[in-house]
Amino acid sequence: MKKIITYGTFDLLHWGHIRLLERAKELGDHLTVVLSTDEFNQLKDKKAFHNYEQRKYLLEAIKHVDKVIPETSWNQKIADIQTNQIDIFVMGDDWKGQFDFLTPYCNVCYLERTKNISTTYIKQQLAGSIET
């Protein structure tokens, strides 16, 4: 069984998130999503609209996602990969090169982001700071 892992906050879940999860799952048989906790988001100076449990519930309802675990630290990736016997680490290409240090532990794949959609963009639209 080929195991895939990806990380994120996945707040204001949108079709770009779904496409990432779908394409990640296509690379293997089992997809683990490591979801930033509310406390970890605070450390990153990020504020999610939905709390951790709500975001976890949404992700678990997606057919491409097999497992959701918490992300509590920037430094847990190697342990997550080893503990879950991961074959491929997947992130959007906006992170290109940032996780190449993981290549001794698994393959690293950067998938192209879905254009014209992001949580930041949605928040700006809702705040009225950009036109739709």
Residues catalogued as catalytic: 44, 46
Does residue 97 come out as left (phi exceeding 0), alpha (psi in the -120 to 50 range) or beta? Answer: left
**Which residue blocks in 1-132 are alpha helix, DSSP H?**
15-26, 38-43, 52-60, 77-83, 119-127
CA distance 45 to 49: 13
The gap from C-alpha 112 to its chain's centroid, in whole angstroms, comes to 13
120's tokens: 């930041």
Tokens for 18, please give them: 């779904």
